Amino acid sequence: MNGADRFILMLCLVWSVGMVLVMHEAYAGDVVVIANKDVPSDKLGQDTIKKIFLGNIINWDNNEVIMVVLSGDNEIHDAFLKKYIKRTSSQFQNVWRQNLFTGKGAMSTKMKTDDEIVDYIAKTKGSIGYVSSEINLPGDVKPIDK
């Protein structure tokens, strides 16, 4: 293999790795925040979503307690954190530990799959969570991010 062949091979490898990273970044945006149909808000901005999931807002406008549901799927969870919270998983975990230790917040609910999250949110008043944007939502769950 001569120098030109090696150069072309290296270009192909770099391009392939770049495409994998681009596809991963595209997936990272495919998360939607959802809530029980009876929550008083229809759309929430990114700042409000961040405050809810960091435990800074704990009640809806009607004083109903906000029930936060987290995904056990690491890819979806990390995509959510990147898109809305702007923190790493360990930083997010530390915030919740601090909230629990200081009595500021209650333990969030964690579900393994999108279907479990949707089912729980459909049945639980005041609940909010996030799932892959590709999942079909039943009538008792609504997308709530702007």
Q: What is the pTM of this model?
A: 0.78
Domain-wise residue ranges, the chain: 31-143
Contact 14, 116 (CB under 8 A): no
| Gap between the Cα atoms of 129 and 49, Å rounded | 10
Spans of the chain below 70 pLDDT: 3-29
Contact 33, 129 (CB under 8 A): yes
Per-residue pLDDT, 106: 74
Per-residue pLDDT, 27: 46
Per-residue pLDDT, 10: 59
Q: What is the pLDDT of residues 56-82, one digit of tens each?
A: 999 999 999 999 999 999 999 999 999
Q: What is the CATH number of domain 31-143?
A: 3.40.190.10
